[in-house]
Amino acid sequence: MSEDSEARVNTYGFRRDVQLAGGCRFRSGALVLAGVIGVVLLTIDPPRHIVSAAPQADKLKESKFIAEGEKLFAPSCGNAYCHGTSGVGGGAPRLRGKGLEAAYLFKTISNGIPGTAMLSFKSELSEEQIWKLVAFVMSDVKSTSDAKPEASVAGKPSPSTKASAETAASSSITGSAQAGKALFFDSTQSRSCHHCHSLQGEGTSIGPDLSKVESRSPRVLFLSIILPHDIKDPRYATVRLTLRSGDRIVGIKKEEDAESIRVYDTTELPAVLRTIQKTDVVKVESANESVMPKDYASIYTMKQFLDLVTFLKSSESPVTLKDLLE
């Protein structure tokens, strides 16, 4: 604990029933509540009628039923803080490949798991909806569109069997927005994107904010990460300063006034915003190339690119390998 949390104790901590578990009061309250609910829930056995309402086992395998479950899954369970878009890679435990049973799933989704972030959904969803979620999770949380060949292929000249196998394979290799986000913001990696880009209000805006690139095609995004490219916006031109001391600084100019020039030195990341007195500068060069690292192709795996692009696209359906190749 640091002085501040210690301080927090003292600010809020001396009051009755103080919750130390958070710096945020609302959160603390929520936790106490969650705790109380949890204890109550633990003591409740699953009501019998729920079990008796279980649909036929066949129903749980019906593709339409599963597909409806998938729709429900995305917003309620698949977000980054929970189980991840496809039941993996989220903040909560993975669901894919767990082989969980129907009755257990139904009970857990209905009641939540006390003491964890797993919320109760029974006030939010009907029993039928919860069964649909159960069906989707039991289908191993795989997108129903993954299984069947691309619909768009139908209009095009009929591909050879081999090509359609490739198509099927390449569209089943998908990215995860959650994993992409983790890569984007990985502060242990000196090359990670957040050192220069912001997205949805997080990260550092040395390069362009990437919140608006979601409209670009996956392929364009992929290429703008792996290939060196000319810059379109002169704000992001690379500057090279040679100083009187002999030091050289490479980076992006932030601003300039009569006496000084402020440059994001990107020699090492995180970039350093340096204020250089003009009297210390011997030479300023500007280049139409990007400071963005040029070696991503040898740093990330294909899967990681898919993750990154899926994250950049902030699309509900994951970007597939096929999308990158087209």
Partner 1 sequence: MIDSRQSQLKRVSLVAIALVVTLAACDQARAQDVNSELTGERLVNARKEPQNWATYFGAYDAWRYSSLDQIRADNVKNLVSVWAFQTGKVEGGLNATPLVVDGIMYLIASENRVFALNAETGERLWTYNYKFPRDLITPYGKFNRGLAVGYGLVFFGTMDNHVVALNASTGKEVWNVEVEDVKKCGCNINGAPFIVKDKVIVGGTGGDSAHRGYISAFNAKTGRLAWRFYTIPGPGEPGHETWPETEIWKYGGGSTWLTGSYDPAQNLIFWGIGNPSSDFNNSVRPGLNLYTDCIVAIDADTGKLKWYYQEIPHDAWDFDSAYEPVLMDITRNGKTEKLLVHPNKSGFVWVLDRVTGKFVNAWPYVDTITWVKSIDKDGALIGRNEPEVGKQSLICPNWGGGRSWNHSSYSPRTGLLYNDGIEWCANVTVIPQEAREGRPFVGGNVDIKPPPDGNIRAHLDAFDPVTGQKKWSVPFKYPILSSLLVTGGDVLFTGDVEGHFLAFDAKTGKQLWSFNTGSGHRGGPITYSVRGRQYVAVPSGLGSIFVSGMPATWPEAANFQTGSAVFVFALPERK
Q: Which residue type is seen at 41?
A: L
> Binding partner of residue 236 among ligand HEC, partner 1, none, CB under 5 to 8 Å per kind?
ligand HEC
> What is the per-residue DSSP string for 80-108?
TTTT-TTSSSSSSPP-TT----HHHHHHH
User: Taking a C-beta distance cutoff of 8 angstroms, is the pair 135, 63 a contact?
Assistant: no
Taking the least distance from each CB to partner 1, the nearer of 3 and 233 is 3
The single residue among 85, 266, 310, 320 that binds ligand HEC, judged by CB under 6 A, is: 266
Scan for tokens 């509540």, then name that residue.
33
Taking the least distance from each CB to partner 1, the nearer of 22 and 46 is 22
From first CA to last CA, the distance across the chain in angstroms is 52
The single residue among 37, 213, 250, 273 that binds ligand HEC, judged by CB under 6 A, is: 213
What is d(CA 243, CA 92) in angstroms, rounded to the nearest whole number? 51
Contact status: 226 vs ligand HEC (CB under 6 A) = no
Contact status: 117 vs partner 1 (CB under 8 A) = yes
Q: Residue-wise over 88-112: b if at least 16 C-beta within 10 A, else e?
A: bbbebeebeeeeeebeebbbbbbbb
The single residue among 43, 188, 279, 298 that binds partner 1, judged by CB under 8 A, is: 188
Stretch that binds partner 1, among 15-23, 59-67, 291-299, 318-326 (CB under 8 A): 15-23
| Bridging pattern class, strands 260-265 and 198-199 | unpaired
Contact status: 77 vs ligand HEC (CB under 6 A) = no
The single residue among 82, 291, 319, 324 that binds ligand HEC, judged by CB under 6 A, is: 291
Contact status: 306 vs ligand HEC (CB under 6 A) = no
What does the block give as tokens for 31?
């936790």
C-alpha pair distances (Å), 177 with each of 69, 116, 262, 302: 20, 23, 35, 14
The single residue among 29, 47, 53, 116 that binds partner 1, judged by CB under 8 A, is: 116
The single residue among 8, 107, 132, 195 that binds ligand HEC, judged by CB under 6 A, is: 195
Q: In 10 A of CB 153, how many CB atoms?
A: 16
Contact status: 193 vs ligand HEC (CB under 6 A) = yes
> Binding partner of residue 119 among partner 1, ligand HEC, none, CB under 5 to 8 Å per kind?
none
Stretch that binds ligand HEC, among 31-39, 152-160, 255-263, 284-292 (CB under 6 A): 284-292
User: Which helix (H) or strand (E) segment is 252 a member of?
Assistant: strand 248-256
Taking the least distance from each CB to partner 1, the nearer of 143 and 192 is 192
Q: 146: buried, middle or exposed (CB in 10 Å: 19+, 13-18, 0-12)?
A: middle
Taking the least distance from each CB to partner 1, the nearer of 160 and 279 is 279
User: Taking a C-beta distance cutoff of 8 angstroms, is the pair 250, 266 a contact?
Assistant: yes
Contact status: 253 vs partner 1 (CB under 8 A) = no
- Cβ neighbors of 97 (< 8 A, separation 6 or more) are 140
Contact status: 31 vs partner 1 (CB under 8 A) = yes
Stretch that binds ligand HEC, among 14-22, 70-78, 122-130, 195-203 (CB under 6 A): 195-203
- Cβ neighbors of 98 (< 8 A, separation 6 or more) are none
Contact status: 19 vs partner 1 (CB under 8 A) = yes
Q: List interacting residues with ligand HEC (CB under 6 A).
A: 191, 193, 195-197, 206-208, 210, 213, 221, 224-225, 229, 231, 236, 252, 266, 290-293, 296, 308
Q: List interacting residues with partner 1 (CB under 8 A).
A: 1-15, 18-24, 27, 31-32, 35, 81, 91-92, 115-117, 185, 187-188, 190, 194, 201-204, 247, 260, 265, 267-275
